[in-house]
Amino acid sequence: MLEVLGIAVLALTALSAAFLVALVLRRSTLAREEQHRATLEERVRPFALALVDGDAVELPELSTEERAMLAEAIGRLSRNLTGGARARIGAYFAGTTAYRAEIDALHDRKVWRRGALLRA
């Protein structure tokens, strides 16, 4: 009886250690992803500000991930845009792969994916 109890204790200890390692690895991964997003946002913030303000700025060729971050930054900066700023931003994103990805996500079968776009 004591042997079974001892084995159960060892098994639970091993399982607890495994969960702890998994939690630490997951937290490290999330921190790395957050740092990457912060770096991307820092890179595209000047372009977002320029587009919202209507400044004449030459935007470099951005990757799909950078364009998505630019759109997110613009969304946070300009919740109530109208007129020329909205037209400039729309013209910049029209026809890009980032735009296509967002439109496709609106038609995604997964409800959480569509809902994530509506919350942004």
Q: Which among 34, 92, 25 is positioned nearest to 58, based on CA atoms? A: 92
pLDDT on residue 60: 78
Asked if 70 contacts 43 with a C-beta cutoff of 8 angstroms, the reply is no
pLDDT in tens, 76-103: 776 666 667 767 777 777 777 777 777 7
pLDDT on residue 19: 98
Map out the domains of the chain as residue ranges: 2-119
Given a cut of 50, the residues of the chain with pLDDT beneath it are none
